[in-house]
Chain A
Amino acid sequence: MTLIFILGTIAVTVGSVSLSPLHVWKIIINKSLNREIFSIEWKKSTEMIVWNLRVPRVILSLLSGGGLSLVGILMQALTKNSLASPYILGISSGASTGAVISIVLGGLLGIGFSPGIGAFIFGTLTAFLVFYLAGNGGYSSTKLVLIGVAVSSLFSGVTTFLVTTAKNEAQLRGAMFWISGSLAGARWDSLTTLFIVLLISIGLISLKYRELNILIAGDELAETLGVDVKRLRFLIVMVSTFLTGFIVSATGVIGFVGLVIPHICRGFVGSNHKRLIPSAILLGAVFLLGTDTLTRAVFKTQEIPIGVITSMLGAPFFMSMLRKNSYNFGG
């Protein structure tokens, strides 16, 4: 918590314009209480930067980092496969296709409907499609991952088609931003829904941590121990689908967080979901916030999509982990 507080303060102070941490907190307190507790000794623009841009961005990075890690844990428990994550299972690429469709169609029909909505609808549909196709005869992990890969390449094909036939540069750039996720679009109005969805998801899943632990040991064992495996699976699919949908609709595709963070946490706290869930959510939140802050500090005037950075950091890390064979799962 302290770490989040400190990191959060740093995150709000750095960027293309550097601000004093003291001002930042004064502004946040003033604004959140909607009263002028501290006299205004800063420029109006500073206030706009802090309150309209950076604070929502910090919150979005915390919410989506935590949320993606939670989805990672859920999917890995469901499939008993350490490769499972919304990224690998094709949900993210389905969502980005949805976003791109709404950009291209929106331009075509002259109506502006939000890429976020497109992403949410397509992400959810893709998730159901993948789980439906893989669900036949128990969620065999290999089957699920293979279907995920197939669905993922199907949708990236569609996305590439749409991008190459896009009518103009602006559409193309808009699409690129969705394919490689970004936190730059953070606005207050979109945060509330995401916050509530995440809170409900965490609540529901925390109640089920024991059952998740048993599920990893195998479906049959779980059933003999009295776990309603079908219902549990349904819950996992629903929670992870909606959560991914909402996150992707706010940020676009941010890869590797859901895959790598749970692994790291297993190394620290073991595989018991009682400790794994909260620690992964916290680490995921801090990781994404840290990465975004670092990116903004390094590339001051230009916006670099965070998805690019997480993939560039996450993939080598994951490879080295696999090579050392130091990951363990469910043990």
Chain B
Amino acid sequence: MNVLLYLVPLALGLGLAGLFAFLWSLKSGQYEDLDGAAVRVLSDDDLTEESRK
């Protein structure tokens, strides 16, 4: 059962990482405009002149 010594903390660590990623994205306002996020990917405005060629 020694395998539990690192597998359980690993599972919890991954879970916590996911939770913190979610809290961070929530705090940075990424859930405020879900429709906008869906259509903004279609826009080319953020491309530089070179990458457009």
A and B part of one assembly: no
